[in-house]
Structure 1
């Protein structure tokens, strides 16, 4: 059985700016995310990090190349069970409380969130237990982002993709937040890919992928980038 959760070959992504002009965001990207990977995806704004994460998570399709999920199953099975996603902005549902937002993947997967204690446990782990009944409009940006991470982890996915998860946190809170994430994943085969500008976060990951004008440059050992 392969250890590869995701395989991308020759990935390219083009967009149009509303005119006839074509903008190329990804260029000929080869990548593999294996079980247990800890990958920091770094590079300047506009280099293609978010687009690559969205393609890895099945939220977007490449214009060229192929993407497959050999360790996760079919495309239809990816979410919410196999992949947990954290967006650059928290993307919480405004009508749901913090606890309900965290529990949502369990509900979508057919579980009973009223009897499953995972959501409450994760909220406590992230220091957010007292916010369980708060609506998103009552939360700070940093609190909402921590809740979004708890939501991504609640169902026990095989792959977590996070886009700038510490972007709205001060350095001390970001450090504690990332401690919690890594501690939660310790000893598991769950792969974690984090797009980040935070060097302290990137330094704690085993592998570094660097985006440069849509190209993925080879990083430290532990994963594959070409």
Structure 2
């Protein structure tokens, strides 16, 4: 498995705790939308701390991009990433992952679990193949919604937001449970793409199966 040392070209904030990292792209490096790689910091004591992050750019771009949420409650890789500067280097490996586009369907994301879907949706828009696909995006507050304007531009009214912990939100309130899925989805004979925290993934996939979704149509990271 190859490793690549890459310079950070740009760091820009996306939300209050999420940044976009634009980095160099190795010559000939290829990935499929939805795939990830392991990233490590080239700082003393952190070189072996590899973490999986999803590519969010298009495969045809001349750079790589990662949109990463930083967790400040512990001294980890994402907190360290947020302290890096343009010109610093990171190391990545080869691409991997089992989330890939199989056909029109329902994307269901919890928080930073949106990241595997960003490259997929950007790729579909570029090819004018978004079709009837919809996105259900669950977050704690309005301020946590990643790339709201871009996702709205891609999906229009098929971009559905549900907020768990903000009483004055204008979006749907609550959790993505079985009742909510039943209220938003009329056809369970299609592809479902699910990504988010482990508890979210377990609850959503279980609800989808109960509602009649074929387990073979559920696409999530194995």
TM-score, normalised to structure 1, is 0.35
When you count helix as a share of all residues, which structure comes out higher? 1
TM-score, normalised to structure 2, is 0.35
Name the structure, 1 or 2, with higher relative contact order (CA <8 Å, separation 6+): 1
